[in-house]
């Protein structure tokens, strides 16, 4: 599994398309795909928003972690793209803080299990792992 992170609109999908040869049209948006499609995809993006959507409908953090582990077990070659959401101003709303914490913790699980982790800024990659 490869993890691609970075701020919003920094060229993460274009980078993956160019470096790994995956057509952008083949990448699955976590917000518009069911869990089976995500598990069977070569590349998924907006994973941070997937986490948010699950928390908003009352899913427990532990259930989201279990799905994340399922992604890691079933498809070792998957590329997961997610925005960094923990930098900057700390939100006043508790739900927003909980979401940012969940994204950070799940990002740590992904990074720990990743073959590589790359951070994209302005379309340029920095290899972290």
* Two structure tokens written together for 129: 């792992």
Number of compact structural domains in the chain: 1
Distance, in Å, from the CA atom of 35 to the CA atom of 83, rounded to the nearest integer, reads: 19
| Cα of 52 vs its chain's centroid, Å | 11
pLDDT digits (tens, 9 = 90+) for 36-52: 889 889 999 999 999 99
Residues 6+ positions from 29 with CB-CB distance below 8 Å: 44, 45, 46
| pLDDT at position 87 | 79
Distance, in Å, from the CA atom of 7 to the CA atom of 15, rounded to the nearest integer, reads: 13
| pLDDT at position 34 | 87
The CATH number of the domain where 89 resides is what? 3.40.50.300
| pLDDT at position 75 | 59
Contact 116, 2 (CB under 8 A): yes
Structural domain including 97 reads 2-127
Q: Edge-to-edge strand order for the sheet containing 28-29?
A: 28-29, 43-45, 79-83, 2-6, 116-121, 124-127
| pLDDT at position 74 | 65
Contact 28, 43 (CB under 8 A): yes
Residues 6+ positions from 129 with CB-CB distance below 8 Å: 111, 114, 116, 117
* Two structure tokens written together for 30: 């976590």
Closest listed residue to residue 6, CA positions, set 108, 121, 128: 121
Per-residue model confidence as pLDDT tens for the chain (129 residues)? 999 999 999 999 999 999 999 999 999 999 988 888 898 899 999 999 999 999 999 999 999 999 999 888 865 789 999 999 987 788 889 999 999 999 999 999 999 999 999 999 999 999 999
* Two structure tokens written together for 37: 């499609």
């Amino acid at each position: 599994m490869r993890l691609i992170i970075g701020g919003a609109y920094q060229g993460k999908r274009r980078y993956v398309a160019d470096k790994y040869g995956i057509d952008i049209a083949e990448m699955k948006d976590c917000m518009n795909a069911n869990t089976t499609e995500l598990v069977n995809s070569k590349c998924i993006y907006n994973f941070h928003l997937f986490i948010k959507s699950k928390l908003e409908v009352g899913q427990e953090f532990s259930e989201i972690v279990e799905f994340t582990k399922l992604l890691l077990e079933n498809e070792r070659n998957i590329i997961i793209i997610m925005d960094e959401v923990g930098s900057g101003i700390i939100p006043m709303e508790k739900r927003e803080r909980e979401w940012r914490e969940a994204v950070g913790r799940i990002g740590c699980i992904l990074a720990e299990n990743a073959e590589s982790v790359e951070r994209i800024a302005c379309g340029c990659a920095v290899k972290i792992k």
